[in-house]
Amino acid sequence: MTADMYREYILQHYRSPRNYGRLENPDIVHEDDNPLCGDQVHIEVALDDQDRVADIRFQGKGCAISQASTSILTDKVKGKTLEEIKALTKDDVFQWLRIPISPMRVKCAVLGLMVLQAGIHHYEARRGR
Ligand code: FES
């Protein structure tokens, strides 16, 4: 795909985000914002009995990169274990986005991943792990 097609891919996720909304009985709930701009992401996760992501939803407000990257993230982590998600890095997010991310936009691109990983840490701390 060309850079233009990837830009269009991001805009599609921004306009029609996947897994948008709330869950009825989430195991993990977390939200945070990008302190530089105040844009927010709220993520809810339901786990199966092997601590894999059975379902995931998000809501948020912010720039196209932050909201699209969170939408893509929710698709990518379905079925993954918490350990696999904790091992994800900003480079994984950049690979999914496939457009150059300027230093100014790095926090936008990784906002969803940071919220999800923080939510996992809180969940594990509550369980004494
Ligand atoms: Fe706020 Fe991108 S400008 S997250």
Mean local confidence (pLDDT), 14-20: 97
Hey, what are 54's tokens?
A: 């059975």
Give yes or no for residue 38 having a pLDDT over 80. Answer: yes
Evaluate: CB of 61 within 6 angstroms of ligand 1.
Answer: no
Give yes or no for residue 27 having a pLDDT over 90. Answer: yes
Hey, what are 50's tokens?
A: 């092997």
Hey, what are 22's tokens?
A: 């709330």
Give yes or no for residue 5 having a pLDDT over 80. Answer: no
Residue located nearest, by CA, to atom 3 of ligand 1: 63
Ligand 1 atom nearest the C-alpha of 63 is: 2
* CA–CA gap between residue 118 and residue 33 (Å, rounded): 12
Q: Tell me the per-residue pLDDT of 74-124, one tens digit each, with 9 for 90 and over.
A: 999 999 999 999 999 999 999 999 888 999 999 999 999 999 999 999 999
Give the CATH number for residue 8.
3.90.1010.10
Q: Can you give the pTM of this predicted structure?
A: 0.94
Say if strands 40-47 and 53-61 run parallel, antiparallel, or are unpaired. antiparallel
Hey, what are 86's tokens?
A: 């904790």
* CA–CA gap between residue 18 and residue 24 (Å, rounded): 17
* CA–CA gap between residue 30 and residue 74 (Å, rounded): 14
pLDDT of residue 129: 74
Evaluate: CB of 69 within 6 angstroms of ligand 1.
Answer: no
The residue count of the chain comes to 129
Give yes or no for residue 1 having a pLDDT over 70. Answer: no
> What is the share, in percent, of the chain residues with pLDDT greater than 90?
86
pLDDT of residue 99: 86
Question: Across all residues in the chain, what is the average pLDDT?
Answer: 94
The domain total for the chain is 1
pLDDT of residue 89: 98
* CA–CA gap between residue 50 and residue 19 (Å, rounded): 21
Please tell me the number of Cα atoms within 13 Å of 47 on its side-chain side: 16
Give yes or no for residue 3 having a pLDDT over 70. Answer: no
Domain span holding position 61: 3-126
Category of 58 on φ-ψ map: left (φ > 0), alpha (ψ -120 to 50) or beta: beta
